[in-house]
Amino acid sequence: DHVIIWFRDDLRTVDNTALNHAIETGLPVIALFVATPMQWHEHHVAAIQVDFIHRRLRVLKQQLAVLNIPLQVMQCNDFSESVDAIAEYCHQHRVVHVFVNKQYPLNEQLRDEKLGVLLAQSGIKQSLFDDNYVLEPETILNREGELFKVFTPYRNAWIKRFSAEPSYPVTTSKEVVLSDTTSAMLADSTDIQSLGYPVIESVLWPVDEEAILQRLDTFCVTKAQDYHQQRDFPAIDGTSCLSPFLAIGALSARQCVHQLLQHFPHALEVNKEDGAFTWLNEIIWREFYGHLLHRYPELSKNHPFQEYTQYVCWQDNPTLLKAWQEGKTGFPIVDAAMRQLRATGWMHNRLRMITASFLTKDLLCDWRAGEQWFMQHLIDGDFASNNGGWQWAASTGTDSQPYFRVFNPTLQGQRFDPKGDFIRTWVKELAKVPDKYIHTPHQWDSSGSLDYPLPIVDHKEARLLAIEAFKQAKAVM
């Protein structure tokens, strides 16, 4: 008999709840990963993220081999096929128990339910674990048993609960027994085949364990202290850049919190708004969006969280959307950010807020178009955080930016990239523009020789139109 650990977005051997439980059974363990390129395409998964996953699987295979666990990679088209393929695999390999860590977006949950039913028909057990967040969904509730819809009280309740019942990384060290089947699989040294997806190289992001842990530690030692002062400036390397590892589970959120607390034991004290505390807050935002997604399946169906905002009349204009996607809006900070995203799969948090606000408020384009574009390009694409971030910026979400407060992209640029260092890295046309005019280059270029688009909208007018669109939507409800 065998047991299976099915890896999805938890690509690590350290602090992996489902893997720990699979090992604890004392039976030979087979690890599976199922590529589902058509499903990924439907979910807009970025090619760069799939390449990152592919590279990480190679490392995972070696790490699992040390534990006597062979990793088998299969390819199916979509979730539906993957369910049948796994059930079939279980029959062929005398599997008695399948272990998985839960995924919270709706299609993923439905897939797991379907597999559970199919396995049960053959007497095979399926065990699902909460692993992706430090604290389990549905554990941070208000007095009425409801999920908090505002971040700060959620955060306070989160900290209270974590302080009372800390959740530490756990790794099982029990030896895994071998069977003839697992021995034979381990002897097979063929490399992991392509995952059947377009390839965009992710080599700038390391996949080996030491490098990832080193990143976390270096952040805690050298940057966490000043994080609250540095985190908003895209030209400064002031954030951890750990989200890609969290997104594919090469690192766990528990590891992050644990490491932070090793260096800053006071980070749980709410009244100390320093770097470590602020960073912990960001990890808790990740938990907040994950827990929301778990509670509200509607979020997986393209629904806005604030009911009335479904009546906002988005002016979907393909020309404006394209200008935004290509970084040709005539707003330097927006363009620099959008070009960086396309070229590297990365965007700084402040810029995600600025560009998302610009698309939804200045261009009055539907936030779902932006959500999709981000997913298609981000190396750290994560459904819950991306949806949460977009709905925050579009003022359609829980605890979102109030609709009447609209970011001014020029002022945001002046404030967070004062000398234009970030802008000049990505908008080469503006290389020679003096600092003073870097955010309003056409004021400097009176001769009109600058090869850079004029602003595609007038911010003042666009702001009023956006506010009006929200007011009208409110009036419908």
Binding site for ligand FAD (CB under 6 A): 231, 239-243, 246-247, 282-283, 285-286, 289, 349, 352-353, 356, 374, 378, 380-382, 385-386, 388-390, 393
Kindly state the smallest distance separating residue 320's Cβ from ligand FAD, in Å. 18
Asked about 142 being catalytic, the answer comes back as no
d(CA 313, CA 346): 30
d(CA 224, CA 205): 20
Q: Which is nearer to ligand FAD, 32 or 140 (CB)?
A: 140
Angle between helices 253-263 and 209-218 (to 10 degrees): 40
Angle between helices 79-92 and 106-121 (to 10 degrees): 30
Q: Would you tell me how many other CB atoms lie within 10 Å of the CB of residue 316?
A: 13
**Active-site entry in 77, 107, 156, 349:** 349
**Active-site entry in 205, 346, 390, 392:** 390
Give the residue carrying structure tokens 């977005």: 9
**Active-site entry in 6, 205, 346, 367:** 367
Kindly state the smallest distance separating residue 282's Cβ from ligand FAD, in Å. 3
Query: Could you give the residue ranges of the DSSP H alpha helices within 269-366?
Result: 275-295, 318-326, 332-344, 349-357
Position 62: which residue type?
Q
**Active-site entry in 285, 324, 392, 426:** 285
Q: Looking at the DSSP assignment, which residues form a beta bridge with residue 32? A: 6, 72
Q: Which is nearer to ligand FAD, 228 or 442 (CB)?
A: 228
**Active-site entry in 156, 282, 429, 444:** 282
CA dihedral sign of residues 283, 287, 292, 298: positive
Q: Which is nearer to ligand FAD, 243 or 309 (CB)?
A: 243
**Active-site entry in 156, 314, 429, 444:** 314
Q: Which is nearer to ligand FAD, 83 or 293 (CB)?
A: 293
Asked about 390 being catalytic, the answer comes back as yes
Kindly state the smallest distance separating residue 173's Cβ from ligand FAD, in Å. 28
Q: Which is nearer to ligand FAD, 112 or 382 (CB)?
A: 382
Asked about 314 being catalytic, the answer comes back as yes
Q: Which is nearer to ligand FAD, 8 or 286 (CB)?
A: 286
C-alpha separations of 204 from 3, 147, 150, 344, 376 in Å = 35, 38, 36, 9, 18
Kindly state the smallest distance separating residue 133's Cβ from ligand FAD, in Å. 11
Tokens found for residue 135: 């604290």
Q: Would you tell me how many other CB atoms lie within 10 Å of the CB of residue 464?
A: 12
Kindly state the smallest distance separating residue 332's Cβ from ligand FAD, in Å. 19
Residues 6 or more apart whose Cβ sits within 8 Å of residue 449: none
CB distance 32 to 123 below 8 Å: no
Kindly state the smallest distance separating residue 425's Cβ from ligand FAD, in Å. 17
Q: Which is nearer to ligand FAD, 140 or 393 (CB)?
A: 393
| HEC secondary structure over 411-465 | HHHHHHCCCCHHHHHHCHHHCCCCHHHCCCHHHHCCCCCCCCCCCCCCHHHHHHH
Q: Which is nearer to ligand FAD, 224 or 438 (CB)?
A: 224
Collapsing DSSP to helix, strand or coil, 335 comes out as helix
Kindly report the length of the chain. Answer: 477
Kindly state the smallest distance separating residue 290's Cβ from ligand FAD, in Å. 9
Kindly state the smallest distance separating residue 330's Cβ from ligand FAD, in Å. 21
Active-site positions read 282, 285, 314, 349, 367, 390
